[in-house]
Chain A
Amino acid sequence: MLDRNRVKAHLEKYIVTYLFIALSVLFIVVSGLDINYVASQLLLRLNRNAFIVLALIIPIVAGMGINFAITIGAMAAQIGLLLTINWGVTGVPGILLAAAITLPLAAFFGFLIGKLLNKMKGQETIGSLILGYFANGAYQLLFLFIFGSIIPLNSNVTIVGASGVQNTLNLTGSVGLYTAIDGIAHIPFQLALYLFCAVLALAAVIQFVRKKITRGRLIAALAVAAVIALVFCIPAVANVVNGNHGRELKLPLVTWLLILGLCLFNSTIMKTRLGQKFRAVGQNQTVANASGINVDRTRVIAIMISTVLAGWGQIVFMQSEGIGTFQTYAAHEQVGLYAGAAILVGGASIDRATNLQALVGTFLFHSLFITAQSAASALFGNSAVGEYFRAFLSYGVIAVALIMYAWHNAKQKKAGQLNLAEQRAAKN
C-alpha cells in the first residue's frame, strides 16, 4: 500500500518542513526552556503572525510567487494606525477605523504593485522584495517630513520641536489600542482544542452525508480529531497548556475567528470564477490568455487582495499581546521576510500553497525563533549567536526554497531525457 515512489516524492516536497520539525525538537531540548513557556510564547506568536502569512496564499496560487511587497500593505496599515492614534479613537472603533483607512490605501498600493509586477513576469518574488525596500524610503519621507508639516498632526505624536512622527508610539493606556482585538474574549486553549475537534468531526460527517467527500476522507478526518482530543487528555500533555504547572494558555477568541475567517475566505474564493482565474493564470498564462482571461488584470486583483489582507494582518499584529508600542520606522521592515520564510517552512513552494501549510509554517518557524537564542547560549555560551541564527534562518529558508524550486524544474527536464533513453531501449 505504501508506494515507495510516493513516499520519496512526499519527502522531497516537504524536506524543509521535516528539517524544521527536527530542528525545533532539538532546540527545545537543548535550550532547556520550560515547555509551558515555549507553548505560551508560540501561541502568542501564532496570534500575531498567522493572519499575515495567510495573506500570501492568493498571489502564490496566481503564479506570482511570494509577495514580499506585503510590507507595503503593512505600511498602509501603519498610516491608518497613526491617524487613529492622532484622532484619539480607542478600542474596537479605533481598530475598525484603522482597518477602514487601510483598505483604500492598501488596495491602491496593491494596484500599483500589481501593475509593476506585470512588467516583470517571472521575477515577481525578487521584484516585490526590492519594491518593499524602495517603499521604505517613501515611507520615511512621508512619516519624517510630510506628516507634521504638510499634513498637520497633534503634538503628542510628533517629534518635539521638529516635524515628523515620533520614533515610538505608545499603544497602551489612554491610546487604548493595545489588545483591542485580543482582549475582547479569551477561552482556555484546551477547551478551544476540543471545540475545534468537535467542529472538524461534525463538518466531516455533514460533508459525507451530502456526498461531498469519500468514506476514506471521513475516516481520516474523524481519526485526526479523535487523536488530537485524546492526546490532550493525557495529563502530561494537558499540563503544558492547562496551567496546572505554570501558566494557563488562553486563546484570544476574536483574533482566531478572524484567522479562521481568512482561511475560509482563501478556500472559498478558489471556488468562484475569480478563483478559477487565479489558478488558471498561475498554471499557464498562455493558455489562460488564449481562453480570454485577462491575465494582467487577474494578477493585479490577486496582489490587491493580498496587500489589503496583509495590511489588516499588520493591525492584528500591532494590537496583539506583548507588543504595546508602535515602532514607527521599523515595525514593517521584516514583515515580508518573516511571513515568506514561514509559509515556505510549512511546505509551500513558489507556485503552490494552502491554508494548512501557512499555519504549520508559522508554527514551526516561530518555534525555532523562540528557542534559537537560548539554544545558542546553551550550545555556544553566547546568546548573540542565536540572534545571527534568526537572520540566517529566515534568509536561508527563502534561498533554499528558491533553489529547491529550480532544482525540481531541472529534475523534471531530466526526467524527460531518461524517458528518451528508455524509449530507445524499448524499441531496440
Chain B
Amino acid sequence: MANDYILEMNHITKMYGSNAVLRDVSLKIRPGEIHALLGENGAGKSTLMNILFGMPVIHSTGGFEGEVLLDGQKVHIASPMDAMAKGIGMVHQEFMLIPGFSVTDNIKLNREISKPWPLSRLLGKDLEFLDTEAMARDARKALDDVGMSIEEYTLVSGLPIGHMQFIEIAREIDKTGMKLLVFDEPTAVLTESEAQQLLDVMKSIAARGISIIFITHRLDEVMNAADSVTILRDGQLVSSFSKADTTPEKLAALMIGRGSESVIQVEKRTRELSGNTAMTIRDLWVNMPGEVDKGINLDVREGEILGIGGLAGQGKIGIPNGVMGLYEAVGDVELFGQKLQLQNTDAALKAGLAMVSENRRGVGLLLDQSIENNIAFTAMQVKGDFMKGFLHQKDTAAIRRFAEQMISELDIRCTSPAQPVGTLSGGNQQKVCVARALALKPRFLFVSEPTRGIDIGAKQLVLETLVRLNREQGMTIVMVSSELQELRSICDRIAIVAEGKIVDILTADAVPGSSPSRCSSWQGC
C-alpha cells in the first residue's frame, strides 16, 4: 500500500524538566516535496529535528511523547546513526567538513569505497584499502548533481564558504537510500546567487523523489521553493498548509503572532531625555561566529532604553559582544565622550559598561559557585569592591548584604545566597546575571537576549527590573532581543540589524507588530 506521507510525526510533546518545549506538534511530509518549517528562535524547530534524528540530548532528558512514522511504519530512532541508516540526512548549519581532507574524502567520509585483500578478510573491513578512483568518480557525480564545477581532489580548507554548503549537500545525496533531507538554514551564509543556486539544487533533489525539510527565516525563499509550510510558535503548532494558500505577510504574522499586546505595561517617561549622547559607534566590525557585523553606526542617547532587533545570524548579538571585547572587533566606539579601547574587556568594564550576556551558562556564570560569589565576582576583580583591610581580603559580610538585597529586589528564588547557581532555574540564573552587572554600578548596561529560555513570569520581572533601573537610576540600557514584542514593550527606540548593518531605527510606536505591511522589512529580506 502506498503511503501519502514519507514522514509523519504525530502529537509530539517534549518536556525539559517541567518546561514543555514542544506541545502536541505534528508534522507530515509527502514524498518529493519541499516542506518549509518556520518559527522564531526558541519556537521548537531544533527540538523537533533533534527528535527526528534521535539525538542523545533527547534520550538523556527522558525521551518524548508521540509517534514517528516513516513510510507509514512506526519507528524508533535510537541515534543519529540510526536515522542515517533509515534514510534521513541532514545538511548542517555549521559545516561538518574536515578542512584538511579533499572534497572527495569529505563526501565519502566513513562511507569509503574499499577493496578487500587477504589480511582484511581475516581482520575486518577496517583494513581494506581505499579505492580512490571509484571514490573520486562518485564524488564527481555528486558534485555535478549539485552543479559544482570544482575539482574533487582540492582540499576543503582553501574553498570559499559558499562552496562548503554544496559539498555538504553533495555528501548527503551521494548516500544511497536517502529519503528525507533536512536543510537547517542553508542559505544563511550564502551570497544571493549562491542561495538561488541552492534553491535550484533543492528543487532538483526533490524532483528525484527525495523529500526535503527546509528550515529558514527568509520568507522569499519559502515562497520561491517550498511546496508546503508548517509554522511553530512557542512550542506549539500554529498552522500547516500548502504554499499556494498564503502570502509572505500572512507567514510573518503567523510566525510572530501574539497580536500587538505588550508583554508588560510600562509607565510613560516623566522627564524628557537630556539629549546627550551616551555612546557613539562608528563603523564597527565584529567577527563573532554566526553574528558578524560589517560596519555598524549607532548613537545611543543618555538615559534611553534602546532596543536592537533583527533575525538570528544577522549580527545583532555581535554588537554588545564586540563593544565589550568578547570577540574580535575593529571600529571607533566612544562612551560618554571618551574613546573606548576595543578588544579589552577589562577596560570596557572599568569605563562603566556592563553586560548581561546571552550565553549565561557559558560566559555569564560560574555554575559551581554560590549566588553571592557570582554576583560579587566581577566587581571584586574589576573595581576592587567588596574588599576590606589592608591585604584586600574578601569582605564576605558586605557581599552577603548586597546579595540579599539583590535577591529580594529581583525576587531570585533560592534557598540561600550560598546556593550554587547551577542548581537554579533558567529565569533565576538570568536574574543573578542582572544582579552581577548591577554590582558594577554601571552607567551603561548591555542586555543581550535577557529573556531567552525563561518562562513568561520571569520575563516580565526581568523587563520590569530593566525599566526600573532606567527610570530610577537613569541608567542607559541597550537591549538585544529576538522578541519584537519585548522590545516594543520597554524600548524608546528600536534599531533593526540585517546582514551586519543597522538598516532602520524606529520609535517604539512605529514598529510593526501584527501589521503585515512592514513585516518584510523586519524579516530583513
The chain A residues found within 8 Å of chain B, CB to CB, are 269, 271-274, 276-277, 279-280, 283-284, 286-288, 290-293, 416-417, 419-421, 423-424, 427-428
Contact = CB atoms under 8 A, between A and B. Distances in A.
A142 to B, nearest CB: 31
B104 to A, nearest CB: 11
A293 B101 CA distance: 15
B35 interface: no
A293 B96 CA distance: 13
A269 B105 CA distance: 16
A272 B285 contact: no
A416 B289 CA distance: 11
B130 A279 contact: no
Given A287-B97, A291-B96, A273 B127 contact: yes
7 contacts: A272-B126, A277-B110, A286-B96, A287-B97, A416-B328, A419-B287, A423-B294
B96 A290 contact: yes
Interface in B63-121: 80-81, 84, 92, 96-101, 105, 109-112, 114, 120
B153 interface: no
B108 to A, nearest CB: 9
Contacts of A274: 126-127
A420 B126 contact: no
B125 interface: yes
A277 B108 CA distance: 12
B129 interface: yes
A292 B81 contact: yes
B331 interface: yes
B114 A420 contact: no
Given A272-B127, A277-B126, A428-B283, A283 B114 contact: no
Nearest to B119: A272
A284 B330 contact: no
Most A C-beta atoms less than 10 A away, residue of B80, B96, B120, B295: B96
A286 B95 CA distance: 10
Given A272-B114, A273-B114, A277-B126, 9 more contacts: A269-B127, A272-B126, A273-B130, A290-B96, A291-B96, A291-B111, A417-B330, A424-B283, A424-B285
A420 B120 CA distance: 50
Contact of A276 (B80, B112, B295, B331): B112
Nearest to B99: A283
Contact of B80 (A284, A286, A290, A419): A290
B138 to A, nearest CB: 15
Nearest to A298: B126
A274 B98 CA distance: 16
B404 interface: no
Interface residues of B, number: 33
B128 interface: yes
Contacts of B120: 272
B126 A273 contact: yes
A290 B295 CA distance: 35
A423 B286 CA distance: 11
Contacts of B287: 416-417, 419-420
Contacts of A272: 114, 120, 126-130
A287 B285 contact: no
B344 to A, nearest CB: 13
Contacts of A293: 109-110
Contacts of B105: 276
Contacts of B283: 424, 428
Per DSSP, are chain A's interface residues mostly helix, strand or loop, or mixed?
A: helix
A424 B295 contact: yes
Contacts of B114: 272-273
Contacts of B98: 280, 283-284, 287-288
B112 A292 contact: no
List the 5 shortest-distance A-B pairs measured between CB atoms, nearest first. A274-B126, A291-B110, A417-B328, A291-B109, A424-B285
A276 B328 CA distance: 35
A287 B294 contact: no
A421 B110 contact: no
Contacts of B97: 287
A280 B294 contact: no
Given A416-B287, A427-B294, A428-B283, A280 B128 contact: no
Contacts of A419: 287
Most A C-beta atoms less than 10 A away, residue of B100, B111, B120: B100
A179 B285 CA distance: 67
A283 B101 contact: yes
Contacts of A421: 285, 330
A255 B89 CA distance: 51
A277 B98 CA distance: 12
B142 to A, nearest CB: 15
Nearest to B113: A273
Given A271-B129, A293-B110, A287 B100 contact: no
Most A C-beta atoms less than 10 A away, residue of B81, B92, B120, B126: B126
Contacts of A283: 98-101
B328 A427 contact: no
A424 B342 CA distance: 15
Contacts of A427: 294-295
Nearest to B132: A271
A419 B286 CA distance: 11
A428 B283 CA distance: 9
Nearest to A419: B287
Contacts of A273: 112, 114, 125-128, 130
A287 B295 contact: no
B333 to A, nearest CB: 14
A298 B498 CA distance: 44
Nearest to A290: B96
Most B C-beta atoms less than 10 A away, residue of A272, A276, A416, A419: A272
Contacts of A271: 129-130
Contacts of B330: 417, 420-421, 424
B100 to A, nearest CB: 5
Contacts of B295: 424, 427
A424 to B, nearest CB: 5
A308 to B, nearest CB: 14
A421 B127 CA distance: 48
Given A280-B98, A286-B96, A417-B287, A424 B130 contact: no
Given A280-B98, A416-B328, A287 B129 contact: no
A421 B330 CA distance: 6
Nearest to A286: B96
Nearest to B130: A271
Interface in B274-310: 283, 285-287, 294-295
Nearest to B292: A420
Interface string B122-164: 0001111110000000000000000000000000000000000
Given A272-B129, A276-B105, A292-B81, A424 B331 contact: yes
A327 to B, nearest CB: 36
B222 to A, nearest CB: 27
Contacts of B331: 424
